[in-house]
Structure formats: structure tokens, C-alpha cells
Amino acid sequence: MNDFQYKKNQLYGEKVSLSEIAEAVGTPFYLYSAAALRRHITAYKKAFSSVPHLIAYAMKANANLSVLHLLGKEGAGADIVSVGELYRVLKAGISPEKIVFAGVGKTKDEMRQALRAGILLFNVESEQELIALDEAAKSCGKKASVALRVNPDVDPKTHPYISTGLKKSKFGVAHVHALSLYKLAGRLSHINVAGVHSHIGSQLTQVKPFVDAIRKMGELIQFLRKDGLDIRYWNIGGGLGVQYDQESPPLPSDLAKNILPILKASGCTIIMEPGRSIVANAGILVTRVIYTKATETKKFVVVDAGMNDLIRPSLYEAYHQILPVVKKKRPDHVVDVVGPICESGDFLAQDRTMPEVMPDELLAVMSAGAYGFTMASNYNARPRVPELMVDGDRYAIIRERETHKDLVRGEKIPAFL
């Protein structure tokens, strides 16, 4: 998190003081560091430079056009999960031959749009989807290149909501069924079997589950090739964790060290789909204290950002470090940092020990660049907050704060009311 640091007790985003930005644009706001984004993508490029590879950034983590544009300039492609994301990523200037399309519920209409755009690969998650894709491809005179998402049944040892590679998961096809489904794929006239895919979960803090999954997938590739299938792409998924609190997740280089020998031996082009590890620690959410209040048993800090702006604490009990934007010598208190939303689940931190804060002071919610703005909603008729990017001593609004007009756009009161 070295792109957000104190200088003389003032917290900065690269070379710009956060107080200065808050003065100019109001609060709350998201701020992303261009230097951090570049550094994170570069770490992947370096780690995997010895194999042909594509970094298909999982844009569901942060889909802002400027973020995509920056990563695209660094050579990244994208992992999309909807045609809405396809629209965004093409608009950001990333070319279709660097796009892979994942998700358990792609409709034929979505498939046709992606085929017409000319994306690289579909990650197919079921037999019905495979057949639908064959039909969709036929109907628009294309051939769809496919990797089946295989469920290697390894426990990623992360939060159950973000575990995706277990037998009980809705994602992918079971390892034992993979072979027969691949055979079917090989027989379909508008399907081109091109690769294998797995993604076992998110916020992984150990290398072992990755290695176990890679071993299993490597064996599968050998089986498939014996069966005459031309496997050229090996998509190893995303999921590398980041430091939110005390965890010390592996770096891309640690991961690469452990799996490169197996990947190289396959001769495949390696696709990876990192999301969180690219953007989480490249972004923060800056919020202002509205009130402080104490009940008989608890102390609360009420801030102007709520669960609609950053839902991770409410949804996953996720931890985000919270720092004062201006450091003062104050005693520590144990507080809940809560938002203005009418829900008890609306908190950014619970039972947090932090220096006492006063109304009007600014707080920075750290590591908020991933699954922050992309999960934001308008609950309680709250306009979504602006997103900004800092690059050295420059910064810009990369998405405007929504207005009240934006909130009712598209709504109509019918004449019969």
C-alpha cells in the first residue's frame, strides 16, 4: 500500500494530499493509484514472462473505463462475465482477441454478441451451455472456441462465499465428468475445443490449493490430448489474495515459482484471470465523519459512506483498515464505524481500535479498489460516489458523482395511476 502514505501526518495518494482532493470533489469518493495498478500488472507480466501468456484481468473486480484502459495499455486482456462487461471493455480499448467470457448463466443472445465481437474463448460451465453455444455459433455462422471450466475439487481455504472450486459449488463441471463433456464438445460442429479452465476461489492466501489444482488440470490435459483434443490454452483462473489485515498472501512470483515447471511442460499459452490482486490495494474509499455517538455499551463513528458504497464488510465480514486522513495525537477507542443506511448490517468496521475522531474529519478505508465500486448500489436513494485516479502529482475524476436525476432516470408514472 505504498502509494497511500503519510507525509507530515497528512495521508497522500501518490503525490496528492487526500484532504485537497476531498476539498475539491466532496466526500465520499473512491481513489485509485495509477502507479499501483501498473506495478501490480507488471508483477504478473514478469512472473510469467518465460511462458506465452495472457493476463485476462477479471474486470468484475473494478470495471472503470480508465482502470481498464490503463491495464490494456500494459498489455492486459479481460475476463468478462456479461455482455455489459464486454461493452465496457471494448469501449476502454481492449481488443476482443484478448477477451475470455466466463459465467454459469450466459444466454444465447449474449453468446452471439460475444461471437460477433470476436472474443478469444468461452469458459463453458455445463453441458446445456455447451449445446446452447454450439447452436448460437451456428445461427451466426461462427465457430466458438471453448475451454471447459473444470472443478478440480480442492479447498481454497477462503471464505465460503468466495470458494468456487469445491464439488458442491455451482461453478464448473466435475473433474470426473470433464472427459465425457470434452468428447461431446469435440463432436459439435460449431465448437472448437481449445483449452481448459479452472478458478478455485478468491482471496487465496496459500500456494498449495493452486498447486493441487494445477496438478489435476495438468493430468486432465494429458488425457484430453491422448483423446485427440487440441488443447492450446490453459486458463489457471484468478484468486490470488491481497493483504487487507495481517495476512501475507503469495505474490505472483511465488505462485509462478511453484507452478511454472508444470505449465511450461504443457506447451500451452497460459491465461490467468487476476482481479483482486491487481486492483484491491490500488484503491481507497475516502469518507467524512458526520457524527460520533455512544450508547451504553458501544461507541459509534457515523460516516458518510455506507454499505451501498462498499458492501464487503457487511457481505463477507471483510476487514478493511481505516486510517485518519490527518493524523492527530489522540487516545485509542474501540468503535464501530457505521454508515447512514437504515440497516443494522451497515458498517465498515466493527469493534475497531482506532484513535478517537471528531465530526468533519476524514477517514480513508484502505484496500477498497476491488469489489468496491463495482458492487455499489443506490440503496436508500444514495447517488453512487465518484471515482478518481491519481498519477504522480495529477489526478482526475474518472467517473462523476451521480445526481438525483440519475437516480430516477428511466422511471415513469403510467397514465392509469
Ligand X SMILES: *Cc1c(COP(=O)(O)O)cnc(C)c1O
C-alpha cell at 264: 511450461
For ligand X, the closer CB: 29 or 57: 57
Beta strand 332-338 with 347-355: parallel, antiparallel or unpaired?
antiparallel
Q: Which residues contact 327 (CB under 8 A, 6 or more apart)?
A: 6, 9, 10, 11, 355
For ligand X, the closer CB: 175 or 352: 175
Minimum gap (Å) between residue 374 Cβ and ligand X: 10
Q: In whole angstroms, what is the distance from residue 268 CA to residue 194 CA?
A: 10
Q: In whole angstroms, what is the distance from residue 316 CA to residue 202 CA?
A: 12
For ligand X, the closer CB: 79 or 134: 79
**Contact footprint for ligand X (CB under 6 A):** 58, 60-61, 79, 102, 199, 202, 237-239, 273-277
For ligand X, the closer CB: 13 or 275: 275
Q: Which residues contact 131 (CB under 8 A, 6 or more apart)?
A: 188
For ligand X, the closer CB: 273 or 391: 273
Q: Which residues contact 16 (CB under 8 A, 6 or more apart)?
A: 390, 393, 394, 395
Tell me which residue has its CB nearest to ligand X.
Answer: 275
Q: Convert 224-263 to b/e letters by CB count within 10 Å (16 or more is b).
A: beeeebebebbbbbbbbbbebeeeebbebeebbeebbebb
Helix (H, G, I), strand (E, B) or coil at 192: strand
Minimum gap (Å) between residue 318 Cβ and ligand X: 13
Catalytic choice (226, 261, 342, 353): 342
Question: How far is residue 404 CA from its own chain's centroid?
Answer: 28
The answer to whether 268 is a known catalytic residue is no
Q: By the 8 A CB rule, do 304 and 290 touch?
A: yes
Minimum gap (Å) between residue 164 Cβ and ligand X: 7
Beta strands (DSSP E) in 27-132 are 29-33, 53-58, 77-80, 99-101, 121-124
Q: 444514495: which residue's cell?
A: 382
For ligand X, the closer CB: 61 or 259: 61
Q: In whole angstroms, what is the distance from residue 292 CA to residue 273 CA?
A: 42
Indicate which residues carry an active-site annotation: 342
